[in-house]
Amino acid sequence: MDILIAALVLGVMGLVFGLVLTGTSKIFAVPSDPKRDAVREALPGANCGGCGYPGCDGCADAIAAGKAPANACPVCSAEAAAKIAEIMGAEVPDASNRKVARVLCQGDCQSAKQKFDYQGIEDCNAACTVNDGFKSCKFACMGLGTCVKACPFDAIHIDPEKKLPVVDEEKCAACGKCVAACPKGVLELQPQKQEVALLCRNTDKLKAVMDVCKVGCIGCQKCAKACKFEAITMVDNLPVIDHEKCRGCQLCAEACPTGAIKALKPRQVAEIDQSGCIGCTICAKNCKFGAIEGALKQPHKVNAACTGCGVCAAKCPKKVITMKDAVAPRDPKAAVEAAPAKPAAETAKA
Amino acid sequence: MNTYFVILVSSLLMNNFVMNKFLGICPFLGVSKRFETATGMGMAVTFVMTLASFVTWLVNEFLLIPFKLQYMQTIAYILVIAVLVQIVEMALKKVSPSLYQALGVYLPLITTNCAVLGVAILNTDSGYNLPESTFNGFCAALGFTMSLLLFAAIREKLALAKMPKWMDGFPGALITAGLMAVAFQGFGGLI
């Protein structure tokens, strides 16, 4: 009998509470935007806060209200991002435009000179308050891991030997928290597909840079001169690479005497499908590096001077030129006489 | 009046829920990394604990005792707390969306906070009347919030300290919590 009373009392309690809940949910019903609910559905729901809003609900609200762009969520998959963009009627984001954070300093303990031995709080902000940091270069990365702590995706680690942060580009979601956290402004969001990058921010020149760091940009302009596509201009003694013009030939990285410009991808070389080539010489005329040999009406060949800029592949009327990873290092001496290249290229354009 | 003062001082210092009774340790360690989230959690817990003390007293007095069902205390109280948290969540969403936003995910998590159930059961065991129970719930939550905020502030400072690797993060936090508990034991003989 007791057990029945217990079950009955608790059952009634549950029933009453259930009714109360139903009632309150009716009273306190908040009319919600169906668009907002659809966006919330598409978001990952991990409440990581990478977007800067309190959880996925906050992010969905901001997207639906138009306060945040459709791609505000830095972590969701490409499909989810496309779905949100579709709901909001925005352009579907292009995965090839993916950005990642890059560390624009290579001054490790060997190459960058130190002003003094820093023994204070393990934090870049703290280190910067002491005589503007312990490295002689005022643009240098402190390497104490303020960015590592700021990263919500575990994508940055300090290299134990170099004492510099390394970004795991696969994990990086381009949320920009590290960029905001760095007191020196060493981190920058750059397109992942970028072929070369200048990994130095020192605006001084020549000796002033060499005195403080072995791998800094000395502003010698060798890269700007080496670039055949006029993609590099010098601003404040630093080369600025126009990535619209850059074809990824990586000659700037080769020309750089200190290694401040780094090639981020393996070099590509062109390969001509011998059976399909009709020997029209358009590729050879357009090659700025004298890397294509062969007589008229004979199948052409690519020599070791190829930089992998891909101009020939774009110009080939028969589409028989493909780009592949280079196996041997480039040999500039292999270039053939490329004297007619420039005027020919211009006539081809016309 | 005297009883209320004793309840207030005792739940803040001598019978602090976290430091002396070791209840609610999960959110104490979980949401104490940043001061802001700790504040939000403290506010939400205060709200729910006060209301839970009020309602569980009514449930105990008018349902459990007349039907001689005191052995069903735990399950009945959990039911009350779960419903309360749900109602609070819905009401907050309607009345104050900004506060709802600020509390975020911590609000539903309070359902499983043992400090809330603990205060309800302790109220019943101490034989408090309705206003005393409600006040005790409020003060206990205040004590919880106080320790949470103290701990969060210490942890924010600790995060910048140069710690040996084996002490960094949770080990250091646990030792800190232990030292804080020892300090709070010192209030023991006050009443």
Q: What is the CATH number of the domain that holds A67?
A: 1.10.15.40
What CATH number does the domain containing A151 carry? Answer: 3.30.70.20
For residues A185 and A215, membership in a common domain is answered with: no
Q: Is residue A13 part of a domain?
A: no
For residues A121 and A180, membership in a common domain is answered with: yes
For residues A55 and A139, membership in a common domain is answered with: no
Q: Is residue A21 part of a domain?
A: no
Q: Is residue A4 part of a domain?
A: no
| Residue A132 scores a pLDDT above 50 | yes
| Residue A343 scores a pLDDT above 70 | no
* Residue B145, pLDDT score: 94
pLDDT digits (tens, 9 = 90+) for A261-286: 988 888 888 888 888 888 888 888 88
Average pLDDT, integer, range B103-132: 85
CA distance B131 to chain A (A): 23
Q: Is residue A284 part of a domain?
A: yes
* Residue A348, pLDDT score: 47
Question: Which residues lie closer than 8 Å to A231 by C-beta, 6 or more apart?
Answer: A241, A242, A243, A244, A245, A246, A247
For residues A80 and A141, membership in a common domain is answered with: no
For residues A199 and A259, membership in a common domain is answered with: yes
For residues A187 and A102, membership in a common domain is answered with: yes
Contact B159 A9 (CB under 8 A): no
pLDDT digits (tens, 9 = 90+) for A305-322: 888 888 888 888 888 888
* Residue B118, pLDDT score: 92
Per-residue pLDDT band at A16 (split at 50, 70, 90): very high
Q: Which of A192, A224, A253 is the last residue of a domain?
A: A192
Residues from chain B contacting residue A5 (CB–CB below 8 Å):
67, 69
Residues from chain A contacting residue B69 (CB–CB below 8 Å):
5-6, 9
Q: Which of A210, A241, A265 is the last residue of a domain?
A: A265
Number of domains, chain A: 4
For residues A258 and A303, membership in a common domain is answered with: no
For residues A129 and A173, membership in a common domain is answered with: yes
- Taking the Cβ of residue B93 and every Cβ of chain A, the question of whether any pair is shorter than 8 Å is answered with yes
Contact B91 A28 (CB under 8 A): yes
Q: What range defines the domain where residue A133 resides?
A: 98-192
* Residue A167, pLDDT score: 92
Q: Is residue A16 part of a domain?
A: no
For residues A198 and A187, membership in a common domain is answered with: no
> Closest-CA residue in chain B for A9?
B63
**Helix, strand counts (H, E) of chain A:** 13, 12
* Residue A91, pLDDT score: 66
* Residue B70, pLDDT score: 86
pLDDT digits (tens, 9 = 90+) for A222-258: 999 988 888 899 988 899 988 888 888 888 998 999 8
Q: Is residue A230 part of a domain?
A: yes
Average pLDDT, integer, range B69-82: 89
For residues A137 and A70, membership in a common domain is answered with: no
For residues A164 and A213, membership in a common domain is answered with: no
Q: Is residue A123 part of a domain?
A: yes
CA distance A182 to A179: 6
For residues A223 and A307, membership in a common domain is answered with: no
Q: Is residue A24 part of a domain?
A: no
> Closest-CA residue in chain B for A11?
B76
Buried b (16+ CB within 10 A) or exposed e, A254-276: bbbebebbbbbeebbbbebeeee
Asked if residues A122 and B160 have their Cβ atoms less than 8 Å apart, the reply is: yes
Q: Which of A230, A249, A265 is the last residue of a domain?
A: A265
